[in-house]
Each structure stands twice: as C-alpha cells, then as structure tokens.
Amino acid sequence: MSIVVKDLVYIYGEGTPYETVALDGVSFEIGDEEFVGLIGHTGSGKSTLVQHLNGLLKPKSGQIFVGGTEITARKKGLTNIRRKIGLLFQYPEYQLFEETVYKDVAFGPSNLGLSETEIDQRVREAMFLVGLDFTAMAERSPFELSGGQKRKAAIAGVIAMRPDVLILDEPTAGLDPRSHADILDMLDKIRKSRGVIVILISHNMADVARMADKVIVMDGGKIALAGTPAEVFAQDEFLSAAGLGLPPITKFIREMRQKGAKIGSNPLTLDEAEEAIDAYLTTKRGAGA
Amino acid sequence: MIRDITIGQYYPGETWVHKLDPRLKIIITLVFIISLFLVRDFIGYAVAAAALAITIAISRVPLPFILRGLKAIFIIIIFTFALNMFMTGGTALVRVGFLTITREGLYNAVFMGLRLVFLIIGSSMLTLTTKPIKLTDGIESLLNPLRAVGVPAHELAMMMTIALRFIPTLLEETDKIMKAQVARGADFESGNIIRRAKNMIPILIPLFISAFRIAQDLAMAMEARCYRGGEGRTKLHELKFKERDVAASLLTVLFLALILLEREFWAILEMLAISR
Ligand SMILES: Nc1ncnc2c1ncn2[C@@H]1O[C@H](COP(=O)(O)OP(=O)(O)OP(=O)(O)O)[C@@H](O)[C@H]1O
Ligand SMILES: [Mg+2]
C-alpha cells in the first residue's frame, strides 16, 4: 500500500470573510510500511491534511491516491477506503458515546460487519495494546474515565479496526510519561506484528526522531521540508524559524559542540548520543595521554 | 454542508448600515417585517425589494453570502409554495392526476413564497450587520421599560447572546464528531429512516455531552469573573443616537408611508374621485 498526494489545496470558509488557506499545494509520497512523522507549528495545516487522506475533507484541487486508487474523484464507495485507513482525531475523547468502554471500542469493528467472536477478540487485543486493563475497564462507562483513560479508549476504538494505514493526530498530547510510553510501544508492536503505514502527528520532536523513517515538516499550509529524521533535524535554524525545535538530545550534543567538544555525528536518540559521547571521550583521553 | 447555515452569523464591516444604532436596526427590521404583511400585491413587494436592495448595497455584504442562508430553509419555502399552489380553490389551470393547480393557487404560492424569502433576507440583514453583543445591547435597552412589570430584560438579553454565540460552536462540534464517527466506519447516508435515526446516536450523545460541558465551563468562567446578573451593571459602550440614525429613521418612515400608500392606492383614488 502506498499513499500519493499531488498539489493538494484546501480553503476553509471559501467565499466568506473568514477564508483561510489551510493547504497550499501539498505533494508527497509515502511508501509501503513507512512510518511518517508529520510536524509543524500550530495551525500549519497538519490536521487538515490528514483528514483528506480518508476522504473526510474534499480538496479544492489536487489528487490523492491510496493504494493506487484515486479517492479525490469519487463520491461513493469511500466507506471501503475509510475502513482501511484508521484516523485518530486530535482530542478523540469527544467521540465516545456508548454505555461501556467495551461497546465503544467495538463500534468500529462492528461497522465492518465482523462476527461476534472476531469483534470480541479485536476489542481485547486493542485494549491490551493501549494499556487498558480489560477486566477493570471493559464494563465501565467511558464517561467515568479520566482524561488519559478516555484517550486510550478512543485509540483502542481506532486500532480495533486493524487499519492498513494508521493516522494519529497528537495521540500523546496531555498524557503522563507512562501512558505516553504505552502508546509509543503500541505503535511499535502494531508495526512489528503486521505491515502498516503509520502517520504520526506530534509536537514531541524526540518521539518523531526516534520512531519515524521519514519526517515531513509543514509550515503555513506548505511542505517546508521532508526527509529522514537525520536530514531534517540537521536543519536546526530552519526548524526554529518554522516554530519548531530539535529533539532535546540533539540539541544537547549541538551545544556541547559549540562549547568546543569535537563530536562529528548528529545523534537523534539517547543510544546514539551515548555512543557519540563515548567516542568523543575516548579520543579526547587518547589525545590527552 | 453543515456550515451552510448562516442564520445568526455576522459579516464584519464598517459601513453605514453596520454602524447604525442596534435599537433602531431592530425597530427597522420589525417595521420591514410588518410591512411585508401589509403588502397586498406585487408592486408593494417591488417597493420592499428596492428598500432591501439598497440596504444590502450599502452594507456591502455579498449577495451569495446572504442567499446561502436561504438554502437552509429551502425546504420550508418549497413546502409553503406547494401547499399554496395545490390547496387554493379557483379557476383551474392544469390538472395532474388528483392535483389541480388553479390560477389563484399559483398567485398565492408565488406571493407567499416571496414573503417568506423577504422575511428571511430582511431579518438576516439585521444579524449579518450587527455584532451579537450590540444586538443584545439593543434588545436589552428596548426591553428595559418592561422591567417595571417584572420582565428580566438583562437576563433575557444575556440568554440570547449566549444562544447566538454558541450556534456556530455547536455546528462545529457536530461536524467534528460526525467526522470522527465516519472515520470509525459509521454510515449516515444509507438505510431507511429508522436505521438512519438509529445511526444518529453516535453523534447525538457526544454532542449533548459537549453541550453540557460547554455550558458548565461557561457558567464557571462567568462566575469566576463575578457575573451576577443585571443588577447594578454598567456598560462599556453606551448606545447613542447619532445623525445617521435620525436619517435612517426618516427613511424608514418614508418607506412605511410608501408601502401604506401603495396598499391603499385604489381606495385613495376612489376617495378622491368621490370628493370631486
Ligand atoms: N473548522 C475550521 N474552520 C475554519 N478554519 C479552520 C478550521 N480548522 C482549521 N482551520 C484553520 O486552518 C489552518 C490549519 O489548521 P489545522 O487544524 O490543520 O492545523 P494543525 O497543524 O493541525 O495545528 P495544531 O498543531 O494546533 O493541531 C489554521 O489556520 C486554522 O485556523
Ligand atoms: Mg491539529
């Protein structure tokens, strides 16, 4: 499965005084099983962009191909495509409506017309993956949960559909460190167990640097930069001009270098940084002796 | 689609129409509405249409934006039209099965349809050119004399402001929830009417919950800022009658006179003929 987007333009409230050009000629490609990090400052058009990918918003112009099928031209038959593309909205906790968490997570799978046993299995799996204890949570009302638990329930509702493309709009915003880690672990597990495309919108640069194969940077409705995390996070001046920053660890190494430490590489994760610092210290000791 | 509902929306501007005293604008709108019911023939409508056209031209609100508001009540207009067309007795024009279209029916249908269109456009001009805050200031000030007989003028006005203010918010919320459920494979477009009504549950429940949450937050925020109703409350912007308001009042009187004159044209003519 691949996703190809060509020259996408979208305008909110066209023809009214409140007109906003949210997407202004966006093009990119996502290959099979790729993990894409989508970053950009507040209001840069990320949420608008991902809502196009399953046909919820219709572009003013441009094309989108999902697995070779153009979805922009058609009016009917989008339901099938939506079933393959799981989209988790920003603040998804407001979509909960059922009497129990179980039923709410089952809403997506039962729309797929699956059998009871299949649904049951998927609900259990999804709740396990997001870190919601099945025995304690399944029969509770989703409205009695805490904010973070609601978030997890909503995420479970999307992954229970087992989509081929999983799009998550800031899934970890406002979660505690443990839940945050749970969600990222879940993404890892899903990717390992079956090949999916993941698109992760996040303001957490460290997550994006660690998880993504490819990073797309949006700025003012346009794609400002795209490439591997190493390529993108090498452009620190550009990123800060676009209202973004570097992963803390990359920033730390950069500052060490400015203070005179001779570190050649640009580490993105803690492990890489450890290696780089280790190498630096060894050569320094060697030179000092 | 859900955003097409423009009733109660404001179209920002700095024109003469926008700046009129809101109290006067409310009265003018009422006069306009009453005049629509006084009109007896199409010439009267021509007068009303001209007045409306001039107002729209001065206000610089684009016509497509105004007409979009009509789209939402299109069905009501069609219904009125059809009801009048088929239900009025008189000389038959066309017969389709058991339905008969009469001359009078057609006339009535067009007449009533136009009245409805003018009503909507006229009253949406008020909200399009007046900020909700000013509008409620106007209503409050007009209702103020009634406080003596126990009408809670300020509270009514505040309720209206809040209702107007939250129409777009709730529409946006509906849109958001609908999209989230569609993304989970919900289908709102197919099936019979019962099936469709049932399919609305995943939208309605979160919407109600949202509405209550918003109401609660708002009440808390208002209390945190020491809101305690109209008692002893002063205004940041006092309403003042200006020259342009006097001019507009005169024009309104002129308009009403024209409408009345046109309505009684034949009667007046007859009276003159008799007295001669
Ligand atoms: N429903 C809407 N109606 C009108 N304008 C909108 C709407 N949603 C978004 N916009 C505008 O479109 C632009 C892009 O918004 P979008 O929600 O895509 O940003 P974002 O990148 O997701 O931001 P954030 O990081 O804050 O979630 C913004 O300027 C926003 O004001
Ligand atoms: Mg967003």
- The highest-confidence range among A111-115, A199-203, B174-178, B266-270, by mean pLDDT, is A199-203
Stretch B58-74: mean pLDDT, rounded?
A: 84
pLDDT higher at B91 or B210: B210
Q: CA–CA separation, B136 vs B164, rounded Å?
A: 10
Please list, in sequence order, all residues whose beta carbon lies within 8 angstroms of the beta carbon of residue A289, skipping any fewer than 6 positions away. Answer: none
* 3 state SS of A47: helix
Q: Closest partner residue to A112 among B64, B179, B185, by Cβ?
A: B185
Q: Is the pLDDT of residue B275 over 90?
A: no
pLDDT of the residue at B1: 42
Angle at A34 between CA A30 and CA A40, to 5 degrees: 65
**Block residue for tokens 């007795």:** B89
**Block residue for tokens 């199409």:** B42
CATH 3.40.50.300 residue ranges of chain A are: 32-55+79-235
What token pair was written down for B120?
């909507």
Q: CA–CA separation, B252 vs A271, rounded Å?
A: 78
**Helices A116-130 and A147-159, packing angle to 10 deg:** 130
pLDDT in tens, B91-100: 777 777 777 7
CB A102 within 8 A of CB B199: no
Q: Which of A22-36, A108-122, A238-252, B19-33 has the lowest mean pLDDT?
A: A238-252
Q: Which of B83-97, B129-143, B245-259 has the lowest mean pLDDT?
A: B83-97
pLDDT higher at B249 or B137: B249
Burial class (CB in 10 A: 0-12, 13-18, 19+), B123: middle
CB B52 within 8 A of CB B122: yes
* 3 state SS of A80: helix
pLDDT of the residue at A104: 94
Q: What is the ipTM of this complex?
A: 0.83
Amino acid identity of residue A221, one-letter, is G
B220 to chain A, closest Cα gap in Å: 20
Provide the pLDDT confidence category of residue B34 given band limits of 50, 70 and 90.
very high
What token pair was written down for B191?
């099936």
**Interface subset of B 172-211, CB within 8 angstroms of A:** 173, 176-177, 179-187, 201-202, 205-206, 209-210
Q: Is the pLDDT of residue B235 over 90?
A: no
CB A159 within 8 A of CB A189: no
Q: Which residue of A has its CA nearest to B209?
A: A94
At the top level of CATH, the class of A32-55+79-235 is alpha beta
Angle at B15 between CA B9 and CA B18, to 5 degrees: 45
Angle at B163 between CA B128 and CA B146, to 5 degrees: 90
**Interface subset of A 151-210, CB within 8 angstroms of B:** 157-158, 161
pLDDT of the residue at B8: 65
pLDDT in tens, A135-190: 999 999 998 998 889 999 999 999 999 999 999 999 998 888 988 998 999 898 89
Provide the pLDDT confidence category of residue B228 given band limits of 50, 70 and 90.
confident
Comparing C-alpha atoms, which of B122, B150, B152 is closest to residue B140?
A: B152
CB A23 within 8 A of CB A49: yes
Strands A61-66, A3-12: pairing kind: antiparallel
pLDDT in tens, A232-280: 998 888 888 888 888 888 888 888 888 888 887 778 888 888 888 888 8
Q: CA–CA separation, A71 vs A85, rounded Å?
A: 12
**Block residue for tokens 């922009």:** A72
Residue A204 near ligand 1, beta carbon < 6 Å: no
Is B185's CB within 8 Å of A15's CB?
A: no
Residue A22 near ligand 1, beta carbon < 6 Å: yes
Q: For B155, list phi and psi in degrees, rounded to 5.
A: -65, -40
CB A109 within 8 A of CB A160: yes
Residue A42 near ligand 1, beta carbon < 6 Å: yes
Q: CA–CA separation, A208 vs A10, rounded Å?
A: 26
Q: Closest partner residue to B185 among A56, A143, A161, by Cβ?
A: A161
pLDDT of the residue at A7: 94
pLDDT of the residue at B255: 94
What token pair was written down for A59?
């572009």
Q: Closest partner residue to B185 among A17, A83, A96, by Cβ?
A: A83
DSSP letter for B4, please: G
Residue A111 touches chain B, beta carbons under 8 Å = yes
Comparing C-alpha atoms, which of A110, A88, A83 is closest to residue A187?
A: A88
Q: What is the dihedral of CA B17, B22, B27, B33, to 10 degrees?
A: 60
Q: Which residue puts its alpha carbon closest to atom 24 of ligand 1?
A: A42
The DSSP bridge partners found for residue A40 are A218
